[in-house]
Structure 1
Amino acid sequence: MARITLEDLGGLGEEEDEEAAAAEEEGDEEGEGARAQLFAHWEAVASAHRVSLPRGERRAGAAEGAAGPSPASPPPAPCLADMAGPIAQMTRRGRLREPVPYAALARQDEGEEAAYEERQYPAGKWACVTKGEPMYEQSISMSFMKLMRYICKENSIGCYLGMTVPVLNEIHLTKEGTKLAHEVLTAFYLPAVFQQDPPIPTDPEIHITERAPLRVITRVFYGMTTEETILREISLFWELLGSTDTVLWETYIVATYENPSIPQRRNEIWFIRRVE
Structure 2
Amino acid sequence: METGGCRMGGAGPAGPAAITLEELDALPEESPDSAYHSHGSSLEEEAAERMDDEEQERLLSYWQSVGRGHQVDVPRDMAEPIQQLTRNNNPQERQSIPFTLIQRKEKLGDLLYEKRQYGKAKWACIKMKEKQYEQSICLGFMKLMRYICEQNSSGLYLGITVPIVTIVHTNEAHSAMAQGVTVAYYLPEVLQDEPPHPFDSDIIIEEWPATIVYSRSFRGITNEDSIMREINLLAAILESPELCLRDTFIIAGYTNPAAANRHNEIWFLQRP
Give the TM-score normalised by the residue count of structure 1.
Answer: 0.82
User: Once the 2 structures are TM-superposed, how far is the Cα of residue 245 of structure 1 from its aligned partner?
Assistant: 1.1
Query: Residue 238 of structure 2 is aligned with which of 222, 238, 241?
Result: 241
Moved more, 108-117 or 120-129: 108-117
Aligned pairs for 1:181-260 (under 5 A) are 181-241=178-238, 244-260=241-257
Question: Cα RMSD (Å) of the superposition?
Answer: 2.3
Aligned pairs for 1:257-268 (under 5 A) are 257-268=254-265
Query: Residue 27 of structure 1 is aligned with which of 49, 65, 76?
Result: 49
Moved more, 175-184 or 158-167: 175-184
Query: Residue 18 of structure 1 is aligned with which of 16, 25, 34?
Result: 16
Hey, what does 1:50 align to over in structure 2?
A: 71
Hey, what does 1:92 align to over in structure 2?
A: 87
**Retained in 2: the 8 A contact 1:223–1:263?**
yes
Gaps of 5+ in 2: 21-44
Whichever residue aligns with residue 83 of structure 1, its letter is M
Hey, what does 1:58 align to over in structure 2?
A: none
**Retained in 2: the 8 A contact 1:170–1:254?**
yes
Moved more, 188-197 or 232-241: 232-241
Percent identity of equivalent pairs: 40
User: Once the 2 structures are TM-superposed, how far is the Cα of residue 21 of structure 1 from its aligned partner?
Assistant: 11
Is 1:115 paired with 2:115? Answer: no
**Retained in 1: the 8 A contact 2:121–2:192?**
yes
User: Once the 2 structures are TM-superposed, how far is the Cα of residue 44 of structure 1 from its aligned partner?
Assistant: 2.0
User: Once the 2 structures are TM-superposed, how far is the Cα of residue 133 of structure 1 from its aligned partner?
Assistant: 1.0
**Retained in 2: the 8 A contact 1:119–1:218?**
yes
SS in 2 for 1:245: helix
SS in 1 for 2:83: helix
Question: For residues 10 and 147 of structure 1, what CA distance do their matches in structure 2 show?
Answer: 15
1:223-248 superposed Cα distances (whole Å, 9 cap, x missing partner): 11111110111111112225631011
Aligned pairs for 1:70-89 (under 5 A) are 79-80=75-76, 82-89=77-84
Whichever residue aligns with residue 150 of structure 1, its letter is Y
Larger Rg: 2
Moved more, 131-140 or 167-176: 167-176
Aligned pairs for 1:162-181 (under 5 A) are 162-174=159-171, 177-181=174-178
1:113-148 superposed Cα distances (whole Å, 9 cap, x missing partner): 311000000000100000111111111111111110
User: Once the 2 structures are TM-superposed, how far is the Cα of residue 86 of structure 1 from its aligned partner?
Assistant: 0.4
Q: 1:111 to 1:37 in 2, by over 3 A?
A: farther
1:42-64 superposed Cα distances (whole Å, 9 cap, x missing partner): 112212222122xxxxxxxxxxx
Whichever residue aligns with residue 252 of structure 2, its letter is A
SS in 2 for 1:157: coil
Question: For residues 242 and 158 of structure 1, what CA distance do their matches in structure 2 show?
Answer: 48
Q: 1:34 to 1:154 in 2, by over 3 A?
A: closer
Question: For residues 111 and 24 of structure 1, what CA distance do their matches in structure 2 show?
Answer: 61
SS in 2 for 1:188: strand
